[in-house]
Amino acid sequence: MLNDQQIQDLISQPKRIVEKDPARGYRQEHRQRRCDLQLERVSDGNLCFSVFVRQNLTFIENFSVGLRYRTGNPTVPIVTLIRYNGPHGEFSTQPDQHYAQPHIHRVTEVEMSSGSAHPQEKDRALTNRYSTFEECLRAFFGDVSVPNYPDYFPDLVQGTLFDGHP
């Protein structure tokens, strides 16, 4: 199916948001604020990517933002390529204790070749690149090459103290 280089190429390809649901803000569902995005590949306009954005309403450090790819393969029609998470619990049986820290999951060639119709993004790395939901969104959109995100998330654009002043 997809090898590690193809996965990385898909993640880094320039994309642009063409639709956000809801168009403004977020909807509340299952004790979360949520929105979903449709992205097109800049090179050919193919609508083969989507993004999910989720944040728990009571435990705001618990959030998830992921890039999905429509493969065109009926056996594995959609795969989450990469997912950025905030801490989502204090206790973990995993040696890296990733549940208590920001971390990034990525699908790999191993999971893609497992034969599962829903390959899981099991590879994970702890990160100190973000600690809040807003920082996560900025890092995510930068890493997956979506430069037009401020058109849909204007509150993520921060000016500096001296903008417009020499």
pLDDT by residue (tens digit) across 58-110? 989 999 999 999 999 888 899 999 999 998 665 555 555 556 689 999 999 99
How do 123-126 and 103-106 pair as beta strands?
antiparallel
Cis peptide bond upstream of 74, omega within 30: no
Tokens of 44: 């050919």
Q: Is 166 helix (H, G, I), strand (E, B) or coil?
A: coil
159 pLDDT exceeds 60?
no
CB distance 103 to 126 below 8 Å = yes
pLDDT digits (tens, 9 = 90+) for 109-150: 998 888 877 888 778 898 999 999 999 999 999 999 999 999
pTM for the predicted model, two decimal places: 0.88
Q: Where are the domains of the chain?
A: 4-152
Q: What angle is formed at CA 137 by the lines to CA 165 and CA 135, rounded to 5 degrees?
A: 60
Task: Compute CA distances 32 → 26, 46, 148, 152, whole Å.
Answer: 9, 30, 25, 19
